Chain A
Amino acid sequence: MSVRRLAEEQPESFEFTPENLEWAQQQIAKYPEGRAASAVISLLWRGQEQNDGWVSEPMIRCIGDLLGMPYIRVLEVATFYTMFNLAPRGKYLIQICKTTPCWLRGSDDVTDVVKRKLGVGPGKVTEDGLFSWMEVECLGACCNAPMIQINDDYYEDLDAARTEALLDAFARGETPAPGSQTGRRSSEPVGGLTSLTGSAGQTGGES
């Protein structure tokens, strides 16, 4: 965690696209009269999606006006949640899990590769505009540690080489299949199944 501020360079304005605006109105309608502020997180999230993945200052004002909320209240929410990026990001946002299970399984190696390949600090965008990266707390995929999240997908069971291959693939414009990068299915044991090996009806001799 660090101090979260709005980016210094901001666009002139922000407006929801007609489709998003309609969606926003639907969100607002979910809440009772006078409680429109409850929709602030949904709207910020949709605004971030529309705005190439980051929340701008005009967007905060736009959402404040839409919800009848003081701007400072919207800013409070936007700065509280780290899932809202307050500065432009690369096309691919890499979130490296650094919490204990991933760290024990080698997230430092993964981080080193990302740092070396991208050549920019956390939160910064590579020159080609493709990548930016950040360290995050547990993303909840500890069985497949270490792992990273690239945009909306998890890439798991990484080591230095696999991370490098992954980044190269993205740089070439490919979209590698998400999930485990060693080929195992979801979070099944690495060495094959140790229980539930038989089919239904054949197990349960002991109990």
Chain B
Amino acid sequence: MPKLTIDGTEVEVEPGASLLQACEAAGKEIPRFCYHERLSIAGNCRMCLIEVEGGPPKPVASCAMAAADDMVVHTDSPMVKKAREGVMEFLLANHPLDCPICDQGGECDLQDQAMAFGTDGSRFAENKRAVDDKNMGPLIKTEMTRCIHCTRCVRFTTEVAGIYDLGATGRGEDLEITTYLEKAVMSEMSGNVIDLCPVGALTSKPYAFTARPWELSKTETIDVMDAIGSSIRVDARGSEVMRILPRINDDVNEEWISDKTRFIWDGLRRQRLDTPYIREDGKLRKAGWGEALQRVAEKVKAAAPDRIAAVAGDLACAESMAALKDLWDALGSPHIDCRQDGAQLGGGERGDYLFTSTLSAIDTADALLLIGCNPRAEAAVFNARIVERSRLGGFAAASIGAPIDANFPCAQLGAGPATLRELIAGEHSFAKTLADAEQPMIIVGMGALARPDGAAVLSAAKQLAANVGATGVDVLHNAAARVGGLDLGLLPGEGGRDVAAIMQGAQAGEVDLVYLLGADEIDMNGLGDAFIVYQGSHGDAGAHRADVILPGAAYTEKNALWVNTEGRVQLGVRACFPPGEAREDWTILRALSDFVGHTLGYDDLSGLRARMIELAPHFTEIGTAGQAVAGAASEGAAMADTPFDLAIDDFYLTNPIARASAVMAECSALAQVAAQDKEATGTHG
């Protein structure tokens, strides 16, 4: 391990560490623009210059030079000061002084570092360069005159997002960052370039000119757009969410978030249910809470316990699901389910429905098999992690199921169970690849599990895992609520109906009342004449069909827990209050329990959480993905021969909030056009 002296302090760093990292280890701040921990080293901004004794008599770019034994480094010498001032003067030579009208103002690296390391003037008397703005699609706003050519955005799209849209054309002063023929950047991860851009060249288009960073209240919370549960920071002004940014969480999302996570916030303002509604003469009318709850209670009491059913949706928080489960138990109905898509999971060991080896295990995996799973649409942030792993080499990936548009090399082995059987029998060449791998990973998605023979598919995957020596099967969910629901036992009780049977029953007149807790993804036409209660935040499919609407809170508006696909319990924190009369979801169920005469035994959040810990003890372990044991593969279950479908058709429109968002609608339309073009020409790019 190299040992070197930095400003008189001796530090020891990992072999291969750069001088910049060594300086940071010594507690010295090194200004930088192009250097980024998670991207390759470019060395083109020259801001990180330092002095190394005994080397050439000139400043050294610390990001691009490896630390070596016995180096004597200065970060505060006159040479370094002069070098920094010089670089800053060059960077500012062409940078416009438009900070007052720039969205980056107040959180701009260039602004901050010019204050800290620059001088007060410039000797550049000539005209500044101006650059045409580029079209990069509906999410990224460009002001290319501000660009300082750090190329972070180009490196990010290539190395992490796995797309080759952005590039730097021309050279020298005329270098321009652009997409090929100014096409929109087509990636689920494109929004991250906004965070990466150290200046105001790439900013958020939907957020443009709406707020300044210092007037926003910042809340650290959890995303629910997929089952990954990325760590996010919600910036709100008053009652409105103004933007969503990623937080660093190496276990889950590193420091990236998907475009759906980032730009969903306009959906939080539209189509909101802000007051209870009751359907009268076929029309919904506004109502008071008492009236609405009374009406639901009447219907619940009028129906036999065997004739009421409840379905929890994909965004529901663990608290509301626990309360729903308790209420349904109290009412004596076994008809409850949290698996809108009909996934054949739950009931057995916890490890059977979790991503047991954890998401970060992909960093060291050397073979990957995806079964009925399209990570790019189902878990875009995790997909970026696969791309990064794939780029390092020594990694083989393959997929069984409907063809996926993977942006890493991924062999398409087959369409369905037949191929899986071949792999188990060892007849397929990829079985050997998996067996030879030191750390093979087998991921099963909802495309393979949300079908009648899902349990058999899971069992077959386990068999394969055992054959090739994998630690287990990893289940990749795509609903944020799912694992929490399964943990809390929102599954049909004895003789209970699952979602399909509930709908059948409703159609056949055997179910009188269906309680939808934010469930919008089932076919509302299949509910027959049943009385529908919809509790949720958005006027989507469920609310349109509902007979009573109870307005709930969106994920940014409540203190609640979600459990991600790894089984990691994560705490969501309220960033602002629900609109109008809307209430936190568990309190609605608590109030309803009063009206139906089965008062739930908790009056506050801590009471409810204590009850949840009773139901599932791991709810105490916030932030960790606890060890979970999986059951063995069961014999005898037979897989059907139908190929595996894709679980998600449209990445941008998977939930009620996304469907209310104008930005998501625009992205979805663009993606569809791009997909058609691709089909038409059959070429990439």
Q: Which residues of A contact B (CB under 8 A)?
A: 1-4, 6, 57, 61, 64-65, 70-73, 75-76, 79-80
Docked Cα-Cα span, A76 to B177, in Å, equals 10
Choose among A2, A72, A76 the residue that contacts B174 (Cβ–Cβ < 8 A): A2
Interface residues as binary, B224-255 with A (CB distance below 8 Å gives 1, 0 otherwise): 00000000000000000000000000000000
Choose among A4, A6, A70 the residue that contacts B685 (Cβ–Cβ < 8 A): A70
* A70 adjacent to B169 (CB under 8 Å): no
Choose among A6, A65, A73, A79 the residue that contacts B164 (Cβ–Cβ < 8 A): A73
- Nearest B residue to A69 by beta-carbon distance? B164
Contacts of A70 in B (CB 8 A): 164-165, 167, 180, 684-685
Contacts of A6 in B (CB 8 A): 181
Choose among B170, B171, B173, B685 the residue that contacts A71 (Cβ–Cβ < 8 A): B685
Docked Cα-Cα span, A2 to B171, in Å, equals 9
Docked Cα-Cα span, A95 to B193, in Å, equals 40
* A71 adjacent to B180 (CB under 8 Å): yes
Choose among B171, B173, B179, B684 the residue that contacts A80 (Cβ–Cβ < 8 A): B171
Contacts of B171 in A (CB 8 A): 1, 79-80
Interface residues as binary, B649-685 with A (CB distance below 8 Å gives 1, 0 otherwise): 0000000000000000000000000000000000111
Q: Decide: A72 near B172, CB < 8 A? Known: A57-B181, A64-B685.
A: no
* A79 adjacent to B169 (CB under 8 Å): yes
Choose among A3, A65, A73 the residue that contacts B167 (Cβ–Cβ < 8 A): A73
Contacts of B181 in A (CB 8 A): 6, 57
- Nearest B residue to A76 by beta-carbon distance? B167
Contacts of B685 in A (CB 8 A): 61, 64, 70-72
Docked Cα-Cα span, A6 to B170, in Å, equals 11
B520 contacts the other chain (CB 8 A): no
Contacts of B180 in A (CB 8 A): 70-72, 75
| A–B complex contacts, Cβ < 8 Å, 5 sampled | A4-B170, A61-B685, A71-B180, A72-B685, A76-B167
* B167 adjacent to A1 (CB under 8 Å): no
* B170 adjacent to A79 (CB under 8 Å): yes
Docked Cα-Cα span, A72 to B178, in Å, equals 9
B259 contacts the other chain (CB 8 A): no
* A75 adjacent to B173 (CB under 8 Å): no
- Nearest A residue to B132 by beta-carbon distance? A3
* A4 adjacent to B167 (CB under 8 Å): no
A27 to chain B, nearest CB (A): 22
* A76 adjacent to B168 (CB under 8 Å): yes
Contacts of B164 in A (CB 8 A): 70, 72-73
Interface residues in B157-196 (C-beta closer than 8 Å to A): 164-174, 176, 178-181
Q: Which residues of B contact A (CB under 8 A)?
A: 164-174, 176, 178-181, 683-685
Contacts of A75 in B (CB 8 A): 167, 169, 180
Docked Cα-Cα span, A72 to B165, in Å, equals 7
Q: Decide: A3 near B172, CB < 8 A? Known: A70-B685, A73-B167, A76-B167.
A: no
Docked Cα-Cα span, A75 to B683, in Å, equals 17
Query: Known contacts A70-B164, A72-B165, A79-B170; can you find 20 more A-B pairs with CB under 8 A?
Result: A1-B171, A1-B173, A1-B174, A2-B174, A3-B170, A4-B169, A4-B170, A4-B174, A61-B685, A64-B685, A70-B165, A70-B180, A70-B685, A71-B685, A72-B685, A73-B164, A75-B180, A76-B167, A80-B169, A80-B171
* B683 adjacent to A72 (CB under 8 Å): no
Instruction: Pick the 10 closest A-B CB pairs, nearest first.
Output: A70-B164, A72-B167, A79-B169, A72-B180, A71-B180, A3-B174, A76-B167, A80-B171, A79-B170, A71-B685
Contacts of A64 in B (CB 8 A): 685
Docked Cα-Cα span, A2 to B181, in Å, equals 19
Docked Cα-Cα span, A72 to B683, in Å, equals 14
B603 to chain A, nearest CB (A): 60
A105 to chain B, nearest CB (A): 27
- Nearest A residue to B168 by beta-carbon distance? A76
Contacts of A80 in B (CB 8 A): 169-171
Docked Cα-Cα span, A64 to B683, in Å, equals 11
* A65 adjacent to B683 (CB under 8 Å): yes
Contacts of A61 in B (CB 8 A): 683, 685
- Nearest A residue to B129 by beta-carbon distance? A3
Docked Cα-Cα span, A19 to B176, in Å, equals 35
A125 to chain B, nearest CB (A): 22
Contacts of A1 in B (CB 8 A): 171-174
- Nearest A residue to B163 by beta-carbon distance? A70
Docked Cα-Cα span, A185 to B122, in Å, equals 51
B371 to chain A, nearest CB (A): 28
Contacts of A72 in B (CB 8 A): 164-167, 178-180, 685
- Nearest B residue to A81 by beta-carbon distance? B171
A135 to chain B, nearest CB (A): 15
A136 to chain B, nearest CB (A): 15
- Name the residue in A4, A6, A61, A76 with the highest tally of chain B Cβ atoms < 10 Å from its Cβ: A76
Docked Cα-Cα span, A71 to B179, in Å, equals 10
A79 to chain B, nearest CB (A): 4
Docked Cα-Cα span, A65 to B681, in Å, equals 13
Contacts of A4 in B (CB 8 A): 169-170, 174
- Nearest A residue to B164 by beta-carbon distance? A70
- Nearest A residue to B178 by beta-carbon distance? A72
Contacts of A65 in B (CB 8 A): 683
B684 to chain A, nearest CB (A): 8
Contacts of B172 in A (CB 8 A): 1
Contacts of B170 in A (CB 8 A): 3-4, 79-80
Contacts of B168 in A (CB 8 A): 76
- Nearest A residue to B172 by beta-carbon distance? A1
Contacts of B179 in A (CB 8 A): 72
Contacts of B169 in A (CB 8 A): 4, 75-76, 79-80
Docked Cα-Cα span, A100 to B168, in Å, equals 30
- Nearest A residue to B181 by beta-carbon distance? A57
* B176 adjacent to A3 (CB under 8 Å): yes
Contacts of B166 in A (CB 8 A): 72
B646 to chain A, nearest CB (A): 25
A205 to chain B, nearest CB (A): 46
Docked Cα-Cα span, A4 to B164, in Å, equals 21
A122 to chain B, nearest CB (A): 16
Contacts of A73 in B (CB 8 A): 164, 167
B259 to chain A, nearest CB (A): 20
- Name the residue in A57, A72, A73, A80 with the highest tally of chain B Cβ atoms < 10 Å from its Cβ: A72
Docked Cα-Cα span, A63 to B654, in Å, equals 38
B483 to chain A, nearest CB (A): 38
